[in-house]
Homo-oligomer: A and B are copies of this chain.
Amino acid sequence: MAAPGIAGIKALVFDVFGTCVDWRGSIAREAEAAARKIGVALDGAAFADAWRANYQPSMERVRGGAREWTILDVLHRETLEALKPRFGLAALDAAASDDLNRAWHRLDPWPDTVGGLARLKRQFVISTLSNGNTALLVNMAKRAGLPWDCVLGAEAFQRYKPQPEVYLGAASLLGLRPEAVMMVAAHNGDLAAAQALGLRTAFVLRPTEHGPGQKTDLRPAGDWDFTARDFSDLADQLRV
Residues of A in contact with B (beta carbons under 8 Å apart): 73, 125, 127, 133-136, 138-139, 141-142, 149-151, 155-156, 173-176
Contacts and interface: CB of A to CB of B under 8 A. Distances in A.
14 contacts: A73-B175, A125-B138, A125-B139, A125-B142, A134-B173, A135-B173, A135-B176, A138-B149, A138-B174, A141-B149, A150-B150, A150-B151, A151-B151, A156-B156
A138 B10 CA distance: 12
Contact of A138 (B138, B141, B150): B150
Nearest to A135: B175
For the complex, would chain A's binding face be called helix, strand, loop or mixed by DSSP majority? helix
A12 to B, nearest CB: 13
Nearest to A169: B156
A152 to B, nearest CB: 8
A139 B142 CA distance: 21
A136 B138 CA distance: 20
A141 B136 CA distance: 22
A133 B175 contact: yes
Contacts of A176: 135
A147 to B, nearest CB: 9
A75 B171 CA distance: 20
Given A125-B142, A138-B125, A142-B125, A173 B149 contact: no
A49 to B, nearest CB: 26
A139 B127 CA distance: 12
A125 B173 CA distance: 21
A97 to B, nearest CB: 17
Contact of A155 (B127, B135, B173): B173
A150 B149 CA distance: 8
A135 B174 contact: yes
A73 B175 CA distance: 10
A140 to B, nearest CB: 11
B142 A175 contact: no
